[in-house]
Amino acid sequence: MKILTAAQTRALDQATIQEQGITSAQLMERAASAFVEWLSHQFDSNEAGEILLLCGPGNNGGDGLAAARLLHQAGYAVRVALLPAEKQSADWQHNRQQLPAAVPVAEMEAEKLPEIASGTLVVDALFGTGLSRPLEGLAAAVVRHLNKAQARVVAIDLPSGLFAEAPQPADSAVVRAQHTVSFGLPKLAFLLPQNADFVGAWHVEDIGLSKRFINETATPWHYTDAAAVAGALPPRPKFSHKGTFGHALLLAGSRGKMGAAVLAAGACLRGGVGLLTAHVPGCGYDIFQISQPEAMCLPDPQVAYLSKLPKLDAYQAVGIGPGLGQAEATYTVLRKLLKNAAKSTEKRPTPLPLVIDADALNLLGSHRALLKLLPENTILTPHPKEFERLTEPARDDYHRLELLRDFATAHRCLVVLKGAYTCLATPTGELHFNSTGNAGMATGGSGDVLTGVLLALRAHAQLPAFEAVRLSVYAHGRAGDLAAVHTGQAGLVAGDIVRHIGPALAEVQAQI
């Protein structure tokens, strides 16, 4: 699914109107109906009580006025508070006229802000994608007044005062909604942690916007939903054998952190790899062999950390990092790996696919000269702190996305910035936000599991680099979601994700 800018969204509305031969008021009616449908599923008229709709002067306010009429017709008690303005949009005026006289309407004033009793259900229809500057004056006062009330707030399209794809100046007035109900496509603002308190839970309702326009519109932002990965994993051919699905090498573990190696290996095996060899420090040999009998194991001569790089000829992909530690000798292993993976051989004309995680990322961060050695299409999987060590502290989440895009294009890598909406940046500068996963995955070892899945799918001969990464991230989150059904979020541990990778991948295969 694409994510468009506010300007592109306006053009999408216009394209829909022209293509489908409808009026803008009819499109607004669709939006308001979709909103009311959502609201009535969420709250019946008893649960809702009297609904207060705060309506601005533009089409967002027009949506609010149309919703007030539809809610009134559906038997809800509603009242409307209007934000005064010099001019209102044409569709606003149309819906103002359509509002039944039985619906109480008041104009807000600085001295007379609407009373909002605790628990009131408030619909925020002040401003949407047409917000052109931070709120001030009466509009800001209304928003601050609303945020102080103990209300249940549902925003139409965007919480008022929030920009759709840019940061707010500090201390701007922005509505804090529990729910945001938007139309057609998600907005970039929904996916960033800094906006979580404003957006609340977000929902996207289909209002039949032009598919042609969406297909033809270029954007760097994408949202990986089930449709994006459907059929991405080819079925296993009847006469396949273990050599068909690649031999992966995992370099992981140090004293006290062998669990990370075991989890990554388990995930790689469940990710469908043909063969897996793990190279682990001497102290981890027994631990690994006993916990992962399906994998082969090469012990390092050093007891507590990795000091040697095995020969790479046999492998189709290499993962390095989980539980690795940052010993000087391990840094040398990483440098050799980068150099050797970049070399082409007769059997392998392109660089050896690499997945770099955890302490291997931290070693890159503390020895930045290594970044020049990264082979094209290398996968890096930092969480925000690890990413900062590779680049610089971000001013805010939007700036972090800029840094991410710049890093991926400069180093021609696939960078997986982990979080609630993990963001995959490609060498061409696209950003793909993942839709799966849950807060239960905020637990030690979840990232090691992702590395294992990436390693398996990167060793898979039939998956191009980008598809392998997008699918891995999606399946990892989906495995977490399937696991949480059984464990609950608090009870979820990384091993539960491993156990659900198989079902998550099977689901993707079934969705063709």
Ligand X SMILES: NC(=O)C1=CN([C@@H]2O[C@H](COP(=O)(O)OP(=O)(O)OC[C@H]3O[C@@H](n4cnc5c(N)ncnc54)[C@H](OP(=O)(O)O)[C@@H]3O)[C@@H](O)[C@H]2O)[C@@H](O)CC1
Ligand Y SMILES: Nc1ncnc2c1ncn2[C@@H]1O[C@H](COP(=O)(O)OP(=O)(O)O)[C@@H](O)[C@H]1O
98 binds ligand X (CB under 6 A): no
Residue closer to K ion (CB basis): 124 or 359: 124
E runs forming strands in 242-389:
247-251, 275-280, 296-299, 317-320, 354-356, 379-380
- Determine, following the binding rule CB under 6 A, whether residue 445 of this chain makes contact with ligand Y: yes
Which residues 6+ apart lie within 8 Å of 412 measured at CB? 374, 376, 377, 427
Annotated binding residue 241: no
Q: Is 182 in the site for ligand Y (CB under 6 A)?
A: no
End-to-end CA distance of the chain: 16
Binding flag, residue 61, ligand X (CB under 6 A): yes
Residue 419 lies near ligand Y (rule: CB under 6 A): yes
**Encoding tokens for residue 65?**
């006025």
User: Is residue 129 part of the contact set for ligand X (CB under 6 A)?
Assistant: yes
CB 454 within 8 A of CB 319: yes
Q: Which of 52, 318, 450, 479 binds ligand Y (CB under 6 A)?
A: 450
447 binds, among K ion, ligand X, ligand Y, none (CB under 5 to 8 A by kind): ligand Y
- Looking at the Cβ atoms of 210 and 330, the one nearer to ligand X is 210
Does 267 interact with ligand Y (rule: CB under 6 A)? no
Q: Which of 53, 130, 200, 407 binds ligand X (CB under 6 A)?
A: 130
Please tell me whether 447 is known to bind a ligand: yes
Q: Return the residue matching tokens 């549902």.
A: 154
Q: What amino acid is encoded at 435 in this protein?
A: S
Q: Which is nearer to K ion, 123 or 414 (CB)?
A: 123
Q: Does 420 bind ligand Y (CB under 6 A)?
A: yes
Is 209 in contact with 184 (CB distance < 8 Å)? Answer: yes
Q: Looking at beta carbons, which pairs linking 40-43 to residues 24 or more positions away fall under 8 Å? A: 40/71, 40/74, 40/76, 42/154, 42/179, 43/121
- Give 175 or 441: the residue with its C-beta nearer to ligand Y: 441
Instruction: Verify binding: residue 448, ligand Y, rule CB under 6 A.
Output: yes
**Based on CB atoms, which residue is closest to ligand Y, 284 or 322?**
322
Helix (H, G, I), strand (E, B) or coil at 305: coil
As a whole number of angstroms, the distance between CA 440 and CA 59 comes to 39
Q: Is 452 in the site for ligand Y (CB under 6 A)?
A: no
- Burial of residue 450 (CB within 10 Å: 0-12, 13-18, 19+) is buried
- Assess contact for 359 and 281: CB atoms under 8 A: no
Q: What angle do CA 117, 120, 124 make, to 5 degrees?
A: 115
In the complex with ligand X, the residue whose CB is nearer, 157 or 359, is 157
Q: What mask, x for binding ligand X by CB under 6 A, covers residues 268 to 297?
A: ------------------------------
Distance CA 274, CA 454 (A): 14
Distance, CA of 350 to chain centre: 30
CA separation, residue 394 to residues 191, 199, 251, 253, 397 (Å): 16, 22, 30, 30, 7
Give the residue with the Cβ less far from ligand X, 84 or 243: 84
Site for K ion in 32-61 (CB under 5 A): 60
Among ligand X, K ion, ligand Y, none, residue 419 binds (CB under 5-8 Å by kind):
ligand Y
Interface size with ligand Y, residues (CB under 6 A)? 18
7 touches, from K ion, ligand X, ligand Y, none (C-beta below 5 to 8 Å by class): none
Backbone φ, ψ for residue 231 (5° rounding): 75, 5
Please check if 434 is assigned to a binding site. no
Side chain identity at residue 195, one-letter code: N
List the x/- string, 346-385, binding to ligand Y by CB under 6 A: -------------------------------------x--
Q: What is the DSSP letter of 346?
A: S
Q: What's CA 45's distance to the chain center, in Å?
A: 34
The one among 46, 97, 118, 132 contacting ligand X by CB under 6 A? 132
- Interface residue with ligand X among 4, 13, 149, 284 (CB under 6 A) is 13
> Is 472 a binder of ligand Y (CB under 6 A)?
no
100-139 residues in contact with K ion (CB under 5 A) are 124, 128
Query: Going along 341-489, which residue ranges are E strands?
Result: 354-356, 379-380, 414-417, 423-425, 431-434
Q: Which residue has the tokens 């400069």?
A: 410
By a kind-dependent CB cut-off of 5 to 8 A, residue 155 interacts, out of ligand Y, ligand X, K ion, none, with: K ion
If one asks whether residue 438 binds ligand Y (CB under 6 A), the answer comes out as yes
List for the chain the helix, strand, coil content (%; round to 5): 45, 15, 40
507 contributes a contact to ligand X by CB under 6 A: no
Residue 133 CB: number of other CB atoms within 10 A?
8
Under the binding rule (CB under 5 A), the answer on residue 165 touching K ion is: no
63 assigned to a ligand binding site: yes
* 3-state SS class at 294: coil
Our finding on whether 59 is near ligand X (CB under 6 A) is yes
Please identify which residue in 80, 135, 262, 267 interacts with ligand X, judged by CB under 6 A: 135
Q: Which of 437, 469, 470, 478 binds ligand Y (CB under 6 A)?
A: 437
Binding site for K ion (CB under 5 A): 60, 124, 128, 155-156, 160
Name the binding residues for AMP: 418-422, 447
Give the binding site for ligand X (CB under 6 A). Answer: 13, 24, 27-28, 31, 56-61, 63, 89, 127-135, 139, 156-158, 183
Binding residue positions for K(+):
60, 124, 160
Binding site for ligand Y (CB under 6 A): 383, 418-420, 422, 437-439, 441-442, 444-448, 450, 476-477
| Binding site members | 59-63, 124, 128-134, 157, 160, 260, 323, 383, 418-422, 447-448
